[in-house]
């Protein structure tokens, strides 16, 4: 459950679907994940991007190799686990009636009750008032499905919406201009991904010059230092490699 939630944080469902069972076959338990090197975990994460996520999963497994903490508050304190993921894991894997909000829940509850997309804080406050004591998992799945298939970001299908009669936004959603990510930030992330990808295939590491040549980008030295700071890479005898 934690693995799927973390995978879905910033990766499309279509890419997570094949990767999830493969990752679980490779690391079926927290103990197995804790015994692996970070380099092996990063290799198993190949294609999913945002490599801080497998690093954090690996850290969690080493902190708790037998079992995850049982309270939402303790889950929230784990590396890389925010309030949303802690709530989702408590609700979907333990059936707890807790409030949380992803982007779909923010959109549906916000449009329904506020007439606009809610902030996360607003959506969690609304969810707290509405989440049922029993069946909180079905409640949250329903909101997420509605957001993913009917109450779409740019073109909500109000005519087909089962809660349209009560909705403050019905037929009134103004299409937002598509958001453009900063070109530099996107490109920076891509270069980081390529650095990790090159090192996945180099078990003995690469010299910085080799890595720069393989990636072909002037930011390799600077981004490699940052990845070392984040614990994803290490440097030994002048060679950069995935961290153990
Ligand atoms: S009526 Fe339209 S805006 Fe309101 S929740 Fe349904 S799809 Fe979204």
**Is there an atom of ligand 1 within 6 Å of 163 CB?**
yes
pLDDT digits (tens, 9 = 90+) for 193-216: 999 999 998 989 999 999 999 998
Report pLDDT for 86.
Answer: 95
Are 13 and 77 found together in one domain?
A: yes
Contacts of 68 (CB under 8 A, 6+ apart): 2, 30, 60, 75, 78, 89
pLDDT digits (tens, 9 = 90+) for 25-46: 999 999 999 999 999 999 999 9
Closest CA to 234 of 37, 14, 81, 19: 37
Are 205 and 224 found together in one domain?
A: yes
Number of domains composing the chain: 3
Nearest-atom number in ligand 1 for the CA of 169 is 3
Report pLDDT for 184.
Answer: 58
Are 148 and 193 found together in one domain?
A: no
Closest CA to 141 of 98, 94, 92: 92
Tell me which of 139, 166, 193 is where a domain ends. Answer: 166
In this structure, the residue with its CA closest to atom 2 of ligand 1 is: 158
Residue 70 maps to a domain: yes
The model's pTM: 0.78
**Is there an atom of ligand 1 within 6 Å of 117 CB?**
no
Measured CA to CA, the distance from residue 200 to residue 170 in angstroms comes to: 49
Q: How far is the CA of 99 from the centre of ligand 1 (A)?
A: 21
Q: Which domain holds residue 89?
A: 2-94
Burial 19-39 (b: 16+ CB within 10 A, else e): bbeebeeebeebeebbebebb
Residue 28 maps to a domain: yes
Q: How far is the CA of 209 from the centre of ligand 1 (A)?
A: 54
Are 36 and 87 found together in one domain?
A: yes
Residue 174 maps to a domain: no
Q: Which CATH number covers residue 128?
A: 1.10.1670.10
User: At how many degrees (to 10) do helices 208-215 and 220-229 cross?
Assistant: 120
Are 150 and 202 found together in one domain?
A: no
Per-residue pLDDT band for 11 (boundaries 50, 70, 90) equals confident
Mean pLDDT of the chain: 92
Nearest-atom number in ligand 1 for the CA of 107 is 8
Residue spans of alpha helices (H) in the chain: 2-8, 13-26, 30-35, 38-44, 52-63, 72-76, 83-94, 103-113, 120-130, 136-149, 183-200, 208-215, 220-229
Nearest-atom number in ligand 1 for the CA of 164 is 1
Q: Which residues are catalytic?
A: 5
Are 65 and 21 found together in one domain?
A: yes
Are 81 and 27 found together in one domain?
A: yes
Contacts of 217 (CB under 8 A, 6+ apart): 191, 194
Are 12 and 75 found together in one domain?
A: yes
**Is there an atom of ligand 1 within 6 Å of 150 CB?**
yes
Determine the residue of 167, 174, 175, 176 to mutate for testing ligand 1's pocket, defined as the one with the most ligand atoms within 8 A of the Cβ atom: 167
Are 114 and 156 found together in one domain?
A: yes
**Is there an atom of ligand 1 within 6 Å of 151 CB?**
yes
Report pLDDT for 183.
Answer: 61
Report pLDDT for 182.
Answer: 57
Measured CA to CA, the distance from residue 82 to residue 143 in angstroms comes to: 20
Measured CA to CA, the distance from residue 91 to residue 40 in angstroms comes to: 30
Residue 14 maps to a domain: yes
Q: How far is the CA of 4 from the centre of ligand 1 (A)?
A: 28
Q: How far is the CA of 179 from the centre of ligand 1 (A)?
A: 21
Residue 176 maps to a domain: no
Residue corresponding to tokens 């073109």: 155
**Is there an atom of ligand 1 within 6 Å of 170 CB?**
yes
Residue corresponding to tokens 């201009």: 177
**Is there an atom of ligand 1 within 6 Å of 44 CB?**
no
Are 80 and 141 found together in one domain?
A: no
Report pLDDT for 244.
Answer: 87
pLDDT digits (tens, 9 = 90+) for 136-148: 999 999 999 999 9
Are 153 and 207 found together in one domain?
A: no
Contacts of 145 (CB under 8 A, 6+ apart): none
Report pLDDT for 174.
Answer: 67
Residue 117 maps to a domain: yes
Residue 173 maps to a domain: no
CA 236, 211, 45, 105 dihedral sign is positive
Report pLDDT for 179.
Answer: 60
Measured CA to CA, the distance from residue 63 to residue 78 in angstroms comes to: 9
Tell me which of 94, 122, 156 is where a domain ends. Answer: 94
Tell me which of 61, 94, 127 is where a domain ends. Answer: 94
Are 143 and 189 found together in one domain?
A: no
């Amino acid at each position: 459950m934690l693995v799927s939630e973390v995978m879905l944080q910033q990766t499309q469902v279509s890419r997570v679907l094949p990767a999830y069972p493969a990752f679980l076959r490779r690391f079926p338990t927290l103990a197995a994940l804790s015994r692996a090197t970070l380099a092996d975990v990063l290799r198993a994460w190949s294609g999913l991007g945002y490599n801080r996520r497998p690093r954090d999963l690996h850290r969690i497994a080493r902190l708790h190799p037998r079992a995850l903490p049982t309270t939402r508050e303790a889950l929230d304190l784990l590396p890389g686990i925010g309030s949303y993921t802690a709530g989702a894991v408590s609700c979907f894997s333990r059936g707890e009636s807790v409030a949380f909000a992803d982007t779909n829940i923010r959109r549906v509850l916000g449009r329904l009750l506020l007439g606009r997309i809610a902030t996360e804080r607003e959506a969690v406050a609304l969810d707290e008032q509405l989440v049922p004591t029993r069946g909180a998992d079905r409640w949250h799945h329903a909101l997420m499905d509605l957001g993913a298939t009917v109450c779409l970001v740019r073109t909500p299908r109000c005519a087909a919406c089962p809660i349209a009669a009560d909705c403050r936004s019905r037929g009134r959603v103004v299409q937002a201009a598509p958001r453009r990510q900063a070109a530099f930030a996107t490109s920076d992330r891509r270069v980081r991904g390529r650095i990790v990808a090159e090192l996945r295939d180099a078990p003995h590491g690469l010299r910085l010059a080799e890595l720069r040549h393989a990636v072909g980008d002037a930011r390799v030295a600077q981004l490699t230092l940052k990845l070392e700071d984040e614990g994803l890479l290490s440097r030994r005898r002048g060679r950069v490699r995935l961290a153990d």
